[in-house]
Structure 1
């Protein structure tokens, strides 16, 4: 979380990235990766992908997300994790 609170401009300056793929390149540099994030062994084993979500200063996303939101505490309290959408 070393870059928490950094603005997009601060990250651009730090990593000197510009262009169409800058967010992808920034994420790789922040994670210390040289290749495609999704092609690393760790992410393949965990069956994970990365999605960059830019947020405003109040941590509200700048764009609408196509992902469903979850109340994870409700899943834990109601003991429905095994039947839940994120589990599937």
Structure 2
């Protein structure tokens, strides 16, 4: 090999290759951060759906507990328990 070719190879290994490697690594980190953000949005949506379901169930339970028939049944049960 002549000196010109050796010089070009040194430049490639010393400067170009590290720049390409850092660029690839940075790109990978950005993609991973984007994937984590999407996952977090997905988890957030799941939590919102679960919260909506719990609220719906709570409304049903509140309706049952505040129903006059339920209260009357409880009072009758208490009276039967005293006897």
**Higher relative contact order, chain-length normalized (CA < 8 Å, sep 6+):** 1
Q: TM-score, normalised by structure 2?
A: 0.20
Q: Identify the structure with the greater helix proportion.
A: 2
Q: TM-score, normalised by structure 1?
A: 0.19
